[in-house]
């Protein structure tokens, strides 16, 4: 029974986390994942500069919000089983991602929902609501990074 459950969990993990891409090297998979994550960070960094008043491109928040939403759709697909720390030790992705795929799935879905809400709110002119949606989005970054990413 335990074996069957393990196999089933493994199968679910594979469907959710992306097919094992045997042809792609773990190094490339990790670097690709980091490139995707950095592109999200680039958008949040740009939004931060706008809201802090360093640049006055206040009308450009919706584009960054859309970019985050688009990238959020890739996140569940870029954690294939051959991209763990054991495969390539320059990843900060923790083993918990593959050990607890259901928890990881929930955390990623929370992020996607918050990204969608932020993108929608940013289209409007209510700055308070946009800021609020952005703070909520930030919490979902933490919701995934805290349990699933190694960081000092």
Where on the chain is the footprint of another protein (CB under 8 A)?
A: 40-48, 51-54, 127-128, 131-132, 134-135, 138-139, 141-142, 145-146, 149-152
* 51 vs 116, beta carbon nearer another protein: 51
Angle between helices 2-17 and 101-123 (to 10 degrees): 30
> Measured from the CB of residue 150, what is the shortest distance to another protein in angstroms?
8
Whole-number Å distance between alpha carbons of 56 and 64? 14
Q: Hey, what are 40's tokens?
A: 């999200």
Question: Facing residues of 93 across strands?
Answer: 149
Burial profile 79-117: b = 16 or more Cβ within 10 angstroms, e = fewer: bbbbbbeeebeebebbeebbebbeebbebbebbbebbbb
* 24 vs 38, beta carbon nearer another protein: 38
* 42 vs 116, beta carbon nearer another protein: 42
> Measured from the CB of residue 137, what is the shortest distance to another protein in angstroms?
9
* 81 vs 104, beta carbon nearer another protein: 104
Helix and strand counts by DSSP (H, E) for the chain: 6, 0
* 75 vs 81, beta carbon nearer another protein: 75
Establish how many alpha carbons lie within 13 A of residue 151's alpha carbon, considering only the half-sphere containing its beta carbon.
8
> Measured from the CB of residue 22, what is the shortest distance to another protein in angstroms?
31
> Measured from the CB of residue 77, what is the shortest distance to another protein in angstroms?
20
> Measured from the CB of residue 52, what is the shortest distance to another protein in angstroms?
5
């Amino acid at each position: 029974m335990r074996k069957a459950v393990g196999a089933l969990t493994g199968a679910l993990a594979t469907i959710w986390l992306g097919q094992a891409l045997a042809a792609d090297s773990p190094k490339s998979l990790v670097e690709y994942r980091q490139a995707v994550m950095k592109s999200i960070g680039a958008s949040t960094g740009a939004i931060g500069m706008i809201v802090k008043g360093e640049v006055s491109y206040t009308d450009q928040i919706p584009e960054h919000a859309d970019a985050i939403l688009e990238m959020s759709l890739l996140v569940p697909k870029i954690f294939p089983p051959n991209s763990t720390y054991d495969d390539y030790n320059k990843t900060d992705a923790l083993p918990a991602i593959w050990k607890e795929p259901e928890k990881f799935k929930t955390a990623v879905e929370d992020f996607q929902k918050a990204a969608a809400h932020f993108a929608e709110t940013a289209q409007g002119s209510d700055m308070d609501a946009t800021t609020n949606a952005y703070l909520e989005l930030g919490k979902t970054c933490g919701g995934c990074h805290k349990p699933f990413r190694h960081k000092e």
